[in-house]
Structure 1
């Protein structure tokens, strides 16, 4: 079966009672992708690569020229980044302000995730799509986390198995809660990643439902001299560990000393992975 294109997915979204009001094809420079319009703002998608740096070519390229990394190595997937596009230039933004009430936040979060999935899967991108979920949405939705989004994807002809729901650190800090969330999202076909609030939290991962990925802030892990024990423990759990927010080549070189495999952050985001 041929996967649907972005225009076909936007046409299917038009039949959805909520998404049909807010998703449309873009114009001008964004004419080939979907955009979302709500509350006077226009949102579009960008994607930050997550690299497997055990591939030799990537290691060599980064030591000399980080900007050339796009031509080397394997990408585990991409993390969606929300851009605000109603100004002169599209810029990263966090549309989920503290002033939003819970129903509005839930609606906006669902709209953004549908937007990113349409632009990513409709463009035939390879790898996994990592989608962040807002902490307040997790608390506002009382049960069956993932059911609504999974139903939308399936109705559009998209595979939830291509998507990784990324849980915030605040949720991962609560063992019982993250266990419930992980099982619920996996029940509806998604993979699940958990952001560690601190390096020591990985000791609790084995007591949780089985996360598919664990993420840790590279700067914090390096500062606390926790990269080696994190890599070792994650290997024993057989859960892929992604070091996020790698800021520069100096951090990357330090990570390389400890057999780190998956990385993402500003150092690699310079590859202009905007779809």
Structure 2
């Protein structure tokens, strides 16, 4: 999308002055957010379908930089939000920056996966996702094209997780959650049937025995299981053999600011 078109998208948020004032364009035409003295940009990592070896969506990551260009971690970024109100604003700003950077790219026709910070779950008591939905409406982006992902700590309280997942769906989003282990993943599938469930291979003691029942439950509940942190061919082989469909990790490339660059890593074989 042309520089002027991205500027027009940002202008559509003028009715939300707090967010609008925190957005700007970098020299390369990408959207940047401003939080305190930090500059926020986006990086995207593909989620691959094993059978087709093609991307099935993109996961967004925040890339905060200091005034002198030093990159800090997302954990370092959110640690600077001292109170709930500041945290809520920062979390929404990150998601908004990612949304603008993603949907301003011509090939952005797959779901965008956005994280929700764990502290936000307690900071907002009801109507989760509604404020972000209104921002998307201003931009003309359907919420159904976005997967809002709850972090693994949310799964410790499956009842609260269910409330939030239902709120996301009510607002029109796809709803996802990270599970800490297979037992927790099964519980989440049975209780809430999230659109997406993420699980890391290192949390699986015996893929050959634990994963077929999990994948069967997911298929019955209409949920997609994405295995994260896939970093070597041996892990990919084991997941493929038990019938996994979706994977994500450094084996397929590092997060990158453009989708072309993110796809260039691709599956290594």
Confirm or deny a common fold (TM above 0.5). Answer: yes
- 1:190-237 Cα offsets, whole Å, 9 max, x none, are 000111121101232244333111110122225676333332332333
Secondary structure at the counterpart of residue 20 of structure 1: helix
Q: Quick one: which of 92, 95, 108 aligns to 2:90?
A: 108
Partner residue of 2:252? 268
Cα drift, residue 150 of structure 1:
0.2
- Counterpart of 1:243 in structure 2 is 227
Contact 2:59–2:114 under 8 Å retained in 1:
yes
Give the alignment partner of residue 49 of structure 1, picking from 7, 31, 46. Answer: 46
Normalised by the size of structure 2, how large is the TM-score? 0.86
SS at 1:246 equivalent: coil
Structure 1 residue 162 corresponds to structure 2 residue 142:
no
The count of residues paired between Structure 1 and Structure 2 equals 252
Q: What residue is the counterpart of 1:38 in the other structure?
A: 35
2:163 to 180, 187, 205: 180
Task: Verify the 8 A CA contact 2:189 2:218 in the aligned structure 1.
Answer: no
TM-score between the two structures when normalised by the length of structure 1? 0.84
CA-CA distance at 1:104 after TM superposition: 1.0
The aligned runs of 1:57-96 (5 Å cut-off) are 73-86=53-66, 87-88=68-69, 93-94=74-75, 95-96=77-78
Cα displacement (A) at 1:168 = 1.0
Q: Write out per-residue CA displacement over residues 12-56 of structure 1, whole angstroms, 9 at most, x where no aligned residue.
A: 2344221122100112xxx2110001110101001110000112x
Structure 2 CA distance for aligned equivalents of residues 160 and 89 of structure 1: 33
Shift of 1:99: 6.0
Q: Residues 176 and 97 of structure 1: is their aligned pair in 2 closer, same or farther, counting only changes over 3 Å? A: same
Partner SS state of residue 151, structure 1: helix
SS in 2 for 1:172: helix
Cα gap change, 1:206 to 1:84, in 2 (>3 Å): closer
- Given candidates 215, 230, 234, the residue that maps to 1:231 is 215
Residue 189 (structure 1) shift: 0.7
| Comparing 188-197 and 83-92, the one that deviates more | 83-92
State the SS of the aligned residue for 2:78: coil
Alpha-carbon distance in 2 for matches of 1:33, 1:208 = 40
Unmatched 5+ stretches in structure 1: 56-72
- Structure 2 residues without counterparts, runs of 5 or longer: 260-269
2:186·2:214 contact (CA, 8 Å) conserved in 1?
no
Question: RMSD value over aligned CA atoms?
Answer: 2.2
Partner secondary structure for residue 135 of structure 1: coil
